[in-house]
Amino acid sequence: MAAVLRRGVKLISSGSSQLLSGGCKHGRTSTLCISSSRPSSSKINVELDSSTGIAVMRFQNPLVNSLNLDFLTEICISLEKLELDKSCRGVILTSAQPKIFSAGLDILEMYGKNPEHYAAFWKSVQEIWLKLYGYSKITIAAINGSSPAGGCLIALTADYRIMADNPRYTIGLNETQLGIVAPFWFKDTMLNTVGHRTAELSLQFGLMYTPSDALKINLVDLVVPEEQVLSTATETMTKFLAIPGHAREISKSMMRKPVVDRLLSCRDADIKNFVSFISKDSIQKSLGQYLSMLKQKKS
């Protein structure tokens, strides 16, 4: 941990304004693409192998899979369809974008908007967490790039996390580095994964971890060569599928339901807290300064 603290925090800019960050069949594999209003800009690609029951969901929201309102909605729709599909038994989450799993929540959704927009956006963030953390089917995060903040949260919801062995990739909840506070359900997810003391230091310092350091604190379960991330995720999925489904589902629910219920009991209050916080002049100023910094890097 001391070595990580000395290294400090690595922010993911990627030259962008993001931070937090019915198909056709070919043989045995069916492909489902959930498209935005323009079919040419599909943000989600899902391939379901009906012979194994394993679906691979690829994030492809240019440029860095930033979690904006539309993208979060499309992810939820895709997950709901797969959950209702009896031929699907597990979902691998990965990225189609190079070097990035997800850059996290889109800052533009939290800057210069009205309270109604902030509320709608935060409700969608809640929804993706509730859907993934309480998902009945097996989920594995095949983390083939950096994953700060909200991107890290998506990975944390999975039953198992496999990360590419590239020291340039980092993962962590780094919200404090922008003056933003991770809500209690972000905190609970991190705490349940790495333990109290590590979670406390990680959240206060906004630490970003390399794959090897993430493995040491159990933030990820396995680190493999980048070209083996997806194949290893598939192999790992088969091990999960070997367990009787009903027993595994009940065990998962038993571990996660109290955390899910905590948010469900106060969703409206959590949204109000977020809107109040993000609307503060000091927070808007901090976000504006970060966006200006990114523009300067572009130029």
Q: Is 219 a catalytic residue?
A: no
- Annotated active-site residue in 175, 178, 230, 287: 175
* Preceding omega of 63 cis (within 30 degrees of 0): yes
DSSP characters over 131-162: HHHT-SSEEEEEE-SBEETHHHHHHHTSSEEE
32, 48, 105, 230: the active-site residue = 105
Please report, as a single letter, which amino acid is at residue 48: L
For residues 124 and 181, give the distance between their C-alpha atoms in angstroms, rounded to a whole number.
18
CB 267: neighbour CB atoms within 10 A?
A: 15
The answer to whether residue 273 is catalytic is no
Q: Say how far apart CA 205 and CA 202 lie, in whole Å.
A: 6
d(CA 186, CA 183): 5
Catalytic residue among 90, 150, 151, 206: 150
Q: Report yes or no: 171 and 147 within 8 Å, Cβ to Cβ.
A: yes
Contact 269, 159 (CB under 8 A): no
Question: Do the beta carbons of residue 171 and residue 152 sit within 8 Å?
Answer: yes
Question: Which of the following is catalytic: 32, 82, 174, 287?
Answer: 174
Whether residue 104 lies in the annotated active site: no
The answer to whether residue 166 is catalytic is no
**Sign of CA pseudo-dihedral 255, 259, 103, 72:** positive
Catalytic residues: 105, 150, 174-175
